[in-house]
């Protein structure tokens, strides 16, 4: 029997159809839901549509159909990355604006075919390499043997809390005494100062407020890559209103801080925090976490994610760190060799990108 290098027979190959698309509407919502077990809302059909409609990323997709059924897919977008002081246009394979995998393959055969579609998108976008990002350890270990010529890299850890608590008081009692006292003191002080909060899915009403608040945080970190335009929140309201909501904090009529939460029945994710630096004394940044935990407990969710960074604080409130990995390949063989050597050195030194 004639086979290709992945072991797929010619007959089997003829029954497989690779499609590239500029929209996730290249498949139906039902097909996507069958393919992707969306534990994370940022992997959902609606999230992809919100990103597309707001044009915050130039989305591309590869779909693999076998006998008319969608059996594998990848989501990607071009982006200029700075690696070791050199800016290069890469094709990023990841959930847009997220921290979740977007390469959905269950076999070496599917992986090889998806890479063919990705190569075609690379040529179209004129990128100089591929970044496959935000892989959890099991995903990374499954894909690594299938991706010849790719180099490994450790990414910043994600953070989460497993919510095996009946209520917020039980959660507090799971913490060290010092952390428990600090949280209670922060909440009580905010109440005495008249800080109020609420959750809402009325994104259109609050889009300008949260855009401004997020701008302060982007300015503080000198990084505007994640600064979302007001039209993004309008697209959220259209496509994922039931899975997304804002939490906002006010002192009288002054907005202090906000965060976006994404929700599935099992998992909450908090993203895109924005804080007005003129009002730090009200501790609204910390209140985001405490309100978020209480909200997730009310929803009976099993886990809440808080993203990377501020690890010392997150450790105090009970967060666990989750390892994330990436796989990188430059298009030019010499550049790819140099990239491999540098990343190997980074790995040996325990550095991350």
Fold of the domain built from segment(s) 164-301: Aminopeptidase (3.40.630)
**Residue 5 pLDDT grade (very low, low, confident, very high; cuts 50, 70, 90):** low
Check residue 1 and give its pLDDT. 43
For residue 8, what pLDDT band results from cuts at 50, 70 and 90? low
Summarize pLDDT for 266-295 with one digit per residue, the tens: 999 999 999 999 999 999 999 999 999 999
Residue 149: strand, helix, or coil? coil
Query: How far from 38 is each of 45, 88, 101, 197, CA to CA, in Å?
Result: 9, 31, 11, 29
Q: What tens digit of pLDDT does each residue of 245-270 get?
A: 999 999 999 999 999 999 999 999 99
CATH of 10-156+324-348, one of 3.40.50.300, 3.40.630.30, 4.10.410.60, 3.30.70.1020: 3.40.630.30
pLDDT digits (tens, 9 = 90+) for 122-153: 999 999 999 999 999 999 999 999 999 999 99
Q: Across the strands, what pairs with 89? A: 80
H/E element, 254: strand 254-263
User: Where in the chain do CATH 3.40.630.30 domains reside?
Assistant: 10-156+324-348, 164-301
Q: Of 205, 210, 202, which Cα lies nearest the Cα of 249?
A: 210
Sign (positive/negative) of CA torsion 31, 111, 135, 79?
Answer: negative
**pLDDT at res. 4:** 54
Residue 353: pLDDT band with limits 50, 70, 90: low
């Amino acid at each position: 029997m004639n086979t290709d290098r992945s072991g797929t027979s010619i007959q089997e190959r003829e029954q497989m159809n690779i499609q590239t698309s500029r929209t996730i509407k290249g498949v139906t919502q039902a097909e996507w839901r069958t393919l992707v077990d969306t534990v994370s809302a940022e992997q959902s059909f609606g999230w992809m549509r919100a990103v597309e409609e707001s044009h915050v990323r130039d989305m591309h997709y590869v779909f693999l159909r076998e006998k008319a059924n969608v059996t594998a897919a990848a989501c990607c977008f071009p982006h200029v990355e700075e690696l070791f002081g050199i800016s290069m246009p890469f094709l990023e394979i990841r959930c847009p604006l997220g921290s979740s995998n977007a390469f959905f393959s269950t076999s070496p055969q599917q992986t090889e075919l998806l890479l063919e579609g990705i190569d075609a998108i690379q040529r179209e976008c004129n990128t100089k390499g591929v970044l496959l990002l935000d892989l959890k350890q099991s995903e990374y270990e499954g894909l690594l043997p299938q991706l010849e010529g790719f180099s490994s890299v450790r990414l910043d850890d994600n953070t989460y809390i497993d919510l095996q608590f009946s209520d917020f008081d039980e959660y507090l009692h799971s913490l060290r005494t010092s952390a428990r006292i600090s949280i209670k003191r922060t909440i009580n002080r905010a109440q005495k100062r008249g800080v109020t909060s609420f959750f809402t899915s009325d994104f259109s009403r609050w889009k300008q407020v949260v855009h401004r608040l997020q701008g302060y945080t982007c300015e503080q970190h000198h990084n505007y890559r994640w600064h979302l335009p007001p039209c993004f929140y309008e697209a959220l309201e259209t496509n994922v209103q039931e899975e997304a909501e804002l939490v906002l904090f006010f002192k009288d009529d002054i907005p202090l801080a906000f965060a976006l939460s994404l929700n599935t029945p099992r998992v909450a994710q908090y993203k895109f925090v924005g804080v007005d630096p003129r009002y730090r004394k009200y501790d609204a940044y910390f209140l985001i976490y405490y309100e978020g935990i209480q909200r997730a407990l009310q929803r009976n969710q099993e886990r809440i994610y808080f993203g990377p960074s501020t690890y010392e604080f997150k450790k105090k409130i009970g967060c666990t760190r989750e390892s994330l990995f990436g796989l990188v390949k430059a298009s030019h063989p010499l550049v790819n060799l140099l990239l491999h050597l540098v990343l190997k050195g980074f790995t040996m030194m325990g550095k991350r990108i």
